[in-house]
Structure 1
């Protein structure tokens, strides 16, 4: 009888451990993403990124998407005293779970690099592939940041592709409105 209790507890623990979040993978920390996007940077400084009502309308017009939030987490990357660009952090829903990602932006608001920080879905993790993420490089809110018009879809990751692409387009618009030098 004593053997049945541990086995049944083990079985319950095993079943309880299987959930949507069992597939969650943390690929990069915020600090690792910053360093991957701007390896030449000597420092990163938080940037207060708050949109006012007029800026939110501009973002919506540029991106074709709701601005979604007035407050965004961003850092500026510097090499000594020279601004290299910015990294903006965001999360979008995949199919059911959140995808955490970072968008590196050049000083002209074009996309420098996209990094996936955490992926929590059971399918669609292929969006982390370097070749898919490279499609964003050099694009702006007004140029090619749409699935089928500059960004390829991945079969089995359709919602993840669409939602990350929309998120990057939104961030590119935010950068154009607030961060472009």
Structure 2
């Protein structure tokens, strides 16, 4: 095989693997969409201790996975509206970037899909599916088949995002709840 043909095949593979990537919202756009009444968004440094990691794992039923979390507090003047936590999970092969808005009591206010890179399963971005998370906490209703419906053809994406939201809700319960 000559060098030109190899390059063409490699370029075609590179293009085909990323052709499905869709950026829906930036982190800042998601924050504003989830907390439209916020007058300020302030980063909240969050590093979990070993004890907190164990508490998150116990509450979520899955590993805490990370000590560091990307958290932003949403404020309206002097009133805390809640938090936005960004995360990434693997769908089937590629990362799904999403953000979870949490109320000060650690219940889920809203979730948004920021970027989806898989060729299938994009239905997790549908408002009706994402609405199932609203009001739920790490302790109740945040599992596929137990409060969150599966999506045929998007089982891995739905499972991994659901697990990720449950993990974030557990982090909020352990480290952010007011």
Fold agreement, TM-score > 0.5: yes
Cross-structure match for 2:130: 133
Within the candidate set 47, 51, 54, 1:50 is matched to 47
Structure 2 residue matching 1:167: 3-state secondary structure: helix
Q: 1:39 aligns with which of 36, 40, 43?
A: 36
For 1:166 and 1:22, locate their aligned partners in 2 and report how far apart those are by CA, in whole Å: 26
Q: Is 2:124 aligned against 1:98?
A: no
Larger radius of gyration: 1
Structure 1 position 50, deviation (Å):
0.6
Matched, 1:124 2:141: no
Give the unaligned 5+ runs of structure 1. Answer: 1-7
- The residue aligned with 1:162 is 159
1:86: which partner in 2? 83
Query: Who is 1:153 aligned against?
Result: 150
Q: C-alpha offsets along residues 133-179 of structure 1, whole Å, 9 cap, x if unaligned?
A: 00000000011000000000000000000000000000000000000
Q: Secondary structure at the match of 2:144?
A: coil
CA RMSD of aligned residues (A): 1.7
* Whole-angstrom distance in 2 between the partners of 1:74 and 1:130: 23
TM-score after normalising by structure 1: 0.92
Give the aligned partner of residue 77 of structure 1: 74
- Deviation string 1:60-95 (CA, Å, 9 cap, x unpaired) is 010000000000000000001110000000000000
Distance in 2 separating the partners of 1:59 and 1:68 = 9
Count of matched residue positions in the alignment of Structure 1 and Structure 2: 174
In structure 1, the partner of 2:173 is 176
Q: 5+ residue gaps in structure 2?
A: none
Q: Distance in 1 between matches of 2:153 and 2:108?
A: 25
In terms of mean alpha carbon deviation, does 105-114 or 15-24 score higher? 15-24
